[in-house]
Amino acid sequence: MGDRITSEKVVEEAVIDNEKLHVARSTWRDAAGLSFDLYRSDGTCLTDDGSLDEHPSSDDLRKLLEHTRLSSHFCRFCGKQIPKADPPRIVSMADSATNPWCCAGCLDDRLR
Ligand SMILES: [Zn+2]
């Protein structure tokens, strides 16, 4: 989200695979048209790689959610998705067979 967005409004709430998703519509100061972004209920953006030009169908929502699940890392402690904007944090003490990722909220000095 940059300062070029003049307004952003949630226009739809959808539940896909038991996950609540919000579709937000943005208008832009120096570009015509609208863009749509998809958020999880915890505020994680699923359209970081590029906003959508049109209001997504429920098929689109499902595809985006599946893509995100396959391509993202989840915290080994709280299970939350780690935002792509965060620097990667790997718990050095993690066994090689377990998930080494840790979110900013769960990281503490003992884990570095
Ligand atoms: Zn965590």
Residue spans of the domains in the chain: they are 1-71, 72-112
- The phi and psi torsions of 14 (rounded to 5 degrees) equal -125, 150
Closest CA to 86 of 107, 65, 62, 64: 107
Cα of 21 from ligand 1 centre, angstroms: 20
Question: Any idea which residue has 């998705």 for tokens?
Answer: 81
Tens-digit pLDDT profile for residues 47-86: 987 899 999 999 999 999 988 877 778 888 898 888 766 7
What's the CA gap between 66 and 12, in Å, rounded? 19
Tens-digit pLDDT profile for residues 76-96: 889 888 876 676 677 777 777
Q: How far apart are the first and last CA of the chain?
A: 31
Neighbours of 84 (CB within 10 A): 14
Cα of 77 from ligand 1 centre, angstroms: 5
Amino acid identity at 29:
R
Cα of 31 from ligand 1 centre, angstroms: 37
Cα of 80 from ligand 1 centre, angstroms: 6
Cα of 100 from ligand 1 centre, angstroms: 11
